[in-house]
Every structure is written in C-alpha cells, then in structure tokens.
Amino acid sequence: MKVTMIAHTPNPDIVSAAAAKLTHSKTAPDELLNDEPEKMKKLLKSVVGMGHTSVIEHAYFTFSIEGISRACSHQLVRHRMASYSQQSQRYVSMDEPQYVIPPKIKANHKLKNAYDEAMHNIWGAYNALMKIGIPAEDARYILPNAAKTNIIMSMDGRALMNFFELRCCLHAQWEIRELASQMLHAVKEVAPAIFENAGPMCKTRGECMEKAKDCPNYPKAESRAKGD
C-alpha cells in the first residue's frame, strides 16, 4: 500500500491550541494565533492529556490511500467520523489482476501459487463476462475481497486519535494496522503536539480492551493503576 497525506489544516497544533486557550481567555480568537508557538503547543499537550480532545476536531487531515484490499476498505469505512471517496468498480474497468496477498500466504511458496492461480481464474471469469456484454456493475460481483482499491479519506484529529487507538493495536487485522501505522507516521510529521502520545489504547490509556494478557504490549498493573 501507499499512504500519502495530501492536505491538512495549516498549523494544526497552533489552531487546536488556540481553540483550547479561547475557552479560558478574553482575547479575540485571531489574536490567540499569534502567541508563542512553543507555549501554545505545551498548552495543547496538557489539554489533550487531560482528555479534553474536542479542540483537536478543528484540525483536519486528508490522505491518499493506494493499493489496499477491499477487505481493508470495508473495515476502514466503519469509522463513521470521516469522509471517503473510493474508486468505483462500476465505472473503472478491473480488467488487470490487481490484488493483495496476505503475508502468511506469501511466505508459503505452494500456497502463494495456489492463491495466484485462484486470483487469475477469477479475473479470467470477470473479463469473460465483460467480453460478452455483461456490464461492469454486474461483472464486479465476482471480484474478491483481495481486489485492490484506492481511497481519499479525511478525518479530524479527534477521530484519528480513536482510529489509532483501535487500529494500531497488535490485535487489529494486519492490513489496516499497517495502514494506521503509516497514517500515524504522517500526522506526527505535521502535528507532533496533537499526536505526541497517539497509538494503541495500551499506550494512550494504559488499558487493553481486548484483555489480551499474552500481548507483549499488555499494560503492567502499575501503569493501569496510574493511567499511564
């Protein structure tokens, strides 16, 4: 997959910090943006650390996501607080086999060959349907969850924090976990204060909703007690 941030709110840390400071200030909103950047970021970290994350809803981030599977995109759109535009299998011809191979299948030569053969048989049937005049909107029904797709997605900072808590977890499905990891790396480049402590819930809250005590990242008892 390829994940690229193609747009974001200018100065997302400062905009969010100004929103946080505004709630306790008589200063006009546009004047708050002129405060010392490092002081603003320190304030933002403190506010977000206390759980007051509504202020980071003012920061938006847009990603170009290429080459994920339809299986992954079905998981992605379960995150309601986002905007999506997805490549259509109705209007875009899928005549060339393009599909994702799970790592555990790719690692086994015999399984990979069988997998590739199944995929090429599916695409052969798809193209055969297209050649006899079946419309793409009907022929696409035969395509697999492994078929690649492209998406443009936008989320605000608060929705992204929740997304990372769920999808950076080691118990998340491997493909969307990789997607979340790449997205997290991208947002930290442009909004380091907002996303300083972003990641799976074991990191952000010292909790494990999966109750997976065998996980190497499972919070220690003292961390859970302190909320670290």
Catalytic residues: 167
Joined tokens for residue 68? 């994920």
CA distance 225 to 228: 8
Q: Considering only CA atoms, which of 81, 63, 60 is closest in space to residue 15?
A: 60
Rg (CA), the chain: 22
Tell me the CA end-to-end span of the chain in Å, nearest whole number: 33
Joined tokens for residue 204? 């952000």
Q: Considering only CA atoms, which of 107, 89, 90 is closest in space to residue 98?
A: 89
Helix, strand and coil content of the chain, in percent to the nearest 5, comes to: 50, 15, 35
